[in-house]
Structure 1
């Protein structure tokens, strides 16, 4: 999933090999090959990694993480101590869109 030859696709489930973080790809660019990592180690298909309980504070379950350009979005399904990165840059928690004012 994270090699330069493959592209994450929406619905892919990925896991960290450094901590208990697990994510689902919500949105991904079709024309790019982002390098996803957590805790400094590449993310791999979740089916290849056993489930690990890791109550770390790096990622938060239920939060959506986006890259700097906003083209890659991940949903955290299991928390872990590692920090999510895309192409070496930290991913941030997606903020909610403000509701329109009703005057």
Structure 2
């Protein structure tokens, strides 16, 4: 059995234990230890994760997209899509919106 990931730090690679989702931590809060889950199960260090189970259905986490928590203090980059939903402390994470480019008048 795998143990939950320790406090996430930028650069950490995490994997889901219930689907094929894998992420890299881009930004993490220094003052708290958020509980990261995917599909309702705790995420683990990618090196310790079991092989991803076969999936059917539409991916919920999308390859190359960034996800942020409600405070905007935790940011994850999806490196492998999956059918599980990412959550931080029980609250679903949202897709980070792209910054608009300045006008080139």
> Could you state the TM-score of these two structures normalised by the residue count of structure 2?
0.87
Alpha-carbon distance in structure 1 between the residues aligned to 2:30 and 2:55: 32
**Residue in structure 2 matched with residue 67 of structure 1 by the alignment:** 69
Q: Structure 1 segments of 4 or more deviating over 4 A?
A: none
Mapped to 2, the partners of 1:33 and 1:57 lie a distance apart of 27
In structure 2, the partner of 1:43 is 43
C-alpha distance in 2, partners of 1:73/1:11?
11
Identify unmatched segments of 5+ residues in structure 2.
Answer: none
Cα deviation, residue 66, structure 1: 0.5
Over residues 29-86 of structure 1, what are the superposed CA-to-partner deviations in whole Å (9 max), with x where a residue is unaligned? 1111100000000000001114426464110011010001111000000010000000
Q: Secondary structure at the match of 1:99?
A: coil
- Please give the alpha-carbon distance, in whole angstroms, between the structure 2 residues aligned to 1:10 and 1:25: 5
Q: How many residues align?
A: 101
> Using the alignment, how far apart are the partners of 1:2 and 1:72 within structure 2?
17
The answer to whether 1:7 aligns with 2:7 is yes
